[in-house]
Amino acid sequence: MTPRTERPPLGQTFQRLVPFARPHARGLAAAIAAYVAVGGTEVLIPELLKTALNDGFAQQGAFSLWAVPAVLIGLFAIRGIFGFLGQYLLHWTIGRTVLDLRQALMDALLRAQATYYVKLPGGSAVTQVVSDPQQAIQLLGQASITLLRDGLPALAMLGYLFFMNWKLTLMTLVTLPVMAVVLKQVNQRVRRVGSAAYDAQITLSSVVDDAARAWKLIRSFDAVPFERARFADAATQVRRQTLKQVAANALSQPLSQLIAAVGLSAIVSMALYQGRVEGSTPGDFAAFCTALLLLMSRARHLAEVAQPITNGLIVAQGCTALLDVPAERDPGTGTLPECRGDLQIQDLRLQYEGSAAPALDGLSLHIPAGHTVALVGPSGAGKSSLIHALQGFAPPSGGRILLDGYDTQSLTLNEVRRRFAVVSQDIVLFDDSVMSNVAYAQNPNPARVEAALRDAALWDFVQSLPEGLHTRIGANGSTLSGGQRQRLAIARALYRDAPIWIFDEATSALDTESERAVQEALTRHQGQKTVILIAHRLSTVRHADCIFVMQAGRVVESGTHSELLALGGFYAHWVTLAET
């Protein structure tokens, strides 16, 4: 269950779940019909008993003996079939409802705005989508099963009892709850006294434990008489509470029996009185008692139904909260027929919610199509924020991003995002094969997958795997090393047919040889792709067509490696540090 600070009322949560069950109402209706049939057969049991007792013992029986097994077996067979159908159909409805709810939750998760993920506690998405719906609907479903399985027969039985003998039924309905309340009081007292005795025992143990642990202190304080008195008090409490417990236990059984006898004698007296005055038979009374016992066993289950309903709704609150997470806004409508990869950023501003300072503060730069540029700057300068803004993950508060001259705000998010292939700092891989990870969400073309893996300097490694391209890589690539994970993510980006490639610290975990191999591959694509490199390593950025130096959310220097060195500013200082 997801911990939440603010929770909607349980009734509201229930209403949120109803639309998921509504499309499967036919299953529910069929389940109810099956349980109504079960209730109907239950009523027949005391009725048959009555007939058997009243007419069956006569020498010339009113019915043949073979009818007894035939009717009884037939009755229970029908009851069993309808009981099975009821349970099956209800679980069918529950299963469909859970499926729809899960699908809606997954949709909400996939569409959620970026701020949802920033605040998301670890593991809670899985809980909200996988465990919460199952647990909530299961608990509510079990409660509905109880309500249907026991409630409908209980109602039927109650109707039968009234039909059979309304006076005795009314008297019983008054007597039984009074008996139940009194018995509950008796049981509560037994429990209370039991816990008091337990607590007294714990106190006594801690007094002895203190005395044993603090023996030196006790003697140095001359506190032996004090501890003796403390022990005597605690021991006396144990004696008193134990005696009370024994008395309460000893009294509870005869008291319960006495109460039961009072109730029972009232019912039996009334039945006998009716027998004498109104001519009812022993068979009638036996049928009445049987129906009453059946009703009571159903009522006991019904009394326990409130708890799972409350628990189910509390669990449901966790997942319905996800349904309310606002979806990502996508106001743009335009599309790009072709994209060369020219990026113009004009006076871009971005401030995260709750942040004191802007992450991007009037940033302007131009990256012509086919150029390779590098972004460098101190940690927190806004390099990753720019990448987020380019892909529409962080909506800017001012300025414009032009892609091939088109304002990205006017394009759909999908149209913008498919123009970028990004390897970010935090690599995300899927628990699937190497091939599926490279050709993620696309139809894999083995030749292109191989080419991407070769460019990412991972082909030799993949060939050494037991199942090659089809080897599964574990959750988030857990069977790979840090460098291999990075190279796989690079291969995935290279495989994507996007005009702009972004590498955000994408080679930080690579050894020099692998890094050089990746660089060479990028050089081979130079001119065809727009490449943005973010790196703290000089070797990664020095060959870029243009290096932008960022500080506090804006570009403070730009030029080629040699131009910036000649400038003698931040970049030159950074190079000096990198070389020492």
Ligand X SMILES: Nc1ncnc2c1ncn2[C@@H]1O[C@H](COP(=O)(O)OP(=O)(O)OP(=O)(O)O)[C@@H](O)[C@H]1O
Please report, as ranges, the residues that interact with ligand X according to CB under 6 A: 118, 352, 355, 359, 377, 379-385
Nearest to 339 by CA among 498, 492, 494, 526: 498
Give the DSSP letter of residue 24: G
Residue closer to ligand X, measured from CB, 455 or 557? 557
Residue closer to ligand X, measured from CB, 21 or 367? 367
Q: Which residues contact 419 (CB under 8 A, 6 or more apart)?
A: 336, 339, 341, 403, 498, 499, 500
CB of 384 to ligand X, least distance (A): 3
Burial of 157: CB neighbours in 10 Å, binned 0-12, 13-18, 19+: buried
Residue closer to ligand X, measured from CB, 20 or 548? 548
CB of 379 to ligand X, least distance (A): 3
CB of 510 to ligand X, least distance (A): 17
Positive/negative CA dihedral, 329, 97, 14, 27: positive
User: In this structure, are residues 136 and 313 in contact, taking their beta carbons and an 8 Å threshold?
Assistant: yes
CB of 394 to ligand X, least distance (A): 8
- Distance separating alpha carbons of residues 164 and 288, to the nearest angstrom: 8
Which alpha helices (H) appear in 304-363, and where do they start and end?
Answer: 306-323
Tokens 């290096």 belong to which residue? 547
Residue closer to ligand X, measured from CB, 158 or 363? 363
Cα end-to-end distance, the chain, whole Å = 53
Residue closer to ligand X, measured from CB, 160 or 548? 548
CB of 508 to ligand X, least distance (A): 10
Nearest to 252 by CA among 175, 173, 192, 176: 192
CB of 1 to ligand X, least distance (A): 27
User: In this structure, are residues 167 and 274 in contact, taking their beta carbons and an 8 Å threshold?
Assistant: yes
CB of 135 to ligand X, least distance (A): 31
User: In this structure, are residues 488 and 480 in contact, taking their beta carbons and an 8 Å threshold?
Assistant: yes
CB of 389 to ligand X, least distance (A): 9
Residue closer to ligand X, measured from CB, 495 or 571? 571
CB of 378 to ligand X, least distance (A): 7
User: In this structure, are residues 553 and 385 in contact, taking their beta carbons and an 8 Å threshold?
Assistant: yes
User: In this structure, are residues 369 and 340 in contact, taking their beta carbons and an 8 Å threshold?
Assistant: yes
Residue closer to ligand X, measured from CB, 44 or 114? 114
CB of 382 to ligand X, least distance (A): 4
Angle formed at CA 513 by CA 508 and CA 514, multiple of 5 degrees:
55
Residue 91 CB: number of other CB atoms within 10 A?
A: 16
Residue closer to ligand X, measured from CB, 222 or 426? 426
* Strands 398-403 and 372-376, bridge-based pairing: unpaired
- Distance separating alpha carbons of residues 369 and 404, to the nearest angstrom: 8
- Distance separating alpha carbons of residues 68 and 47, to the nearest angstrom: 13
Give the DSSP letter of residue 326: P
Residue closer to ligand X, measured from CB, 144 or 351? 351
Residue closer to ligand X, measured from CB, 220 or 355? 355
Side-chain half-sphere CA neighbours of 204 within 13 A: 17
Residue closer to ligand X, measured from CB, 524 or 573? 573
CB of 548 to ligand X, least distance (A): 12
Residue closer to ligand X, measured from CB, 1 or 120? 120
What the block records as the tokens of 75 is 């009755």
CB of 360 to ligand X, least distance (A): 8
What the block records as the tokens of 349 is 């501003």
Tell me the residue type at 373: V
Q: Which residues contact 481 (CB under 8 A, 6 or more apart)?
A: none
